[in-house]
Amino acid sequence: MTFSLNESKKIKDIFTTYLRYLDSTCRKRSKQSIKSIKSDLNSYCKFLDMKANNEVAEAFSETIILSYVAFKKKQGLSGRSISRHLSTLRQFFNWVDLTFKELEVVTNSKKIRGPKLPKLLPKALSVDEIAVFFFLNKQEFETWLDYRDMAIFELAYSSGLRVTELVGIDLTHNSNSLGWINFEEMELEVLGKGNKWRKIPLGREAKNSLEEWVVQRENFLFKKNVSNKIAPLFINKFCGRLSSRGVQRRFLINSNFSTTSNRITPHMFRHSFASHILQSSKNLRAVQELLGHANISSTQIYTKLDYQHLSEIYDTSHPRAKKLNENT
């Protein structure tokens, strides 16, 4: 897709053109990613309207970007959210540089970085907390939702999938599939970040829960007079694909069946998967492959989590550590 300069004299027109470009490449990004980018750009456009800056040179200036950052801080946005907004704008500026070279807009805006963020360790459940969660949730099932939710929980912990990857899985492979499960080989294949495919082993407990869910799914669709050949593995009450928000809501509801006071999220299960695999295997590269991380640096944060776990064991087990704790 090509764009000409004469249709983009104003910054709003360039934004509109960029959004059309994003829509044309939507297969390379998740729907949630596209939604976030559009939201960030719309926020910046509204800010420019408020400042009465609709000229290209002004909209790209370092001064206006810094003013935007200050504005977002006043709104109470966290450093992480501000950094995401700036990342969106940098991607936009890069695209403008490549697409509209005739503009020759000189700017240092791309060099602006967000506030330094504290390096927070991911929140993971312990092995015992995971065991209690599944034990309490595996009491007598009453509805098809119980079977579906358990299959989701087991698959999330068994595979460490991102929630967007989980909801994109189809029952069987088709040309539009973003993921599917091979029950015979006990593995699943998913399309992750960066448009990269990866295979992940399917655990025994996850396989059993999924097979039980597939039977319940078929019965539910039969009662709804809907073909069992519809693609999504995880469906909602309207027989459509379950959304990421829907999965997050089910995790929240079932947080009551746990011994932790924290709200349990799908990403917490992903962190728990990575942490427990690393604690057992000490194989960072394997964890990187299973999680679908492009860079090993993204996976290395779990080594800190593993060290934290070892440190806690030391503090509670070593005679000298016990003595020190008792005296403090």
Catalytic sites, residue numbers = 162, 193, 267, 270, 293, 302
User: Within a 10 A sphere around the Cβ of 37, how many other Cβ atoms?
Assistant: 20
Q: How far is CA 123 from CA 219, 273, 301, 308, in A?
A: 37, 11, 11, 12
Q: Tell me how far the alpha carbon of residue 185 is from its chain's centroid.
A: 27
Whole-angstrom distance, CA of residue 86 vs CA of residue 321: 45
The separation between the first and the last C-alpha atoms of the chain, rounded to the nearest angstrom, is 67
Q: Which long-range contacts (CB under 8 A, 24 or more apart) does 230-239 make?
A: 231/170, 231/171, 231/172, 231/174, 231/176, 231/177, 232/167, 232/169, 232/170, 232/171, 233/169, 233/170, 233/171, 233/180, 233/181, 234/148, 234/151, 234/152, 234/166, 234/167, 234/169, 235/148
**Host H or E run for residue 307:** helix 296-317
Concatenated DSSP letters of 129-149: HHHHHHHHHTS---SHHHHHH
φ/ψ of 33, rounded to 5, equals -65, -45
Residues 6+ apart with CB under 8 A from 75: none
Name the burial class of residue 46, with classes exposed (0-12), middle (13-18) and buried (19+) by CB atoms within 10 angstroms of its CB: exposed
Nearest to 167 by CA among 88, 237, 236, 81: 236
φ/ψ of 234, rounded to 5, equals -105, 120
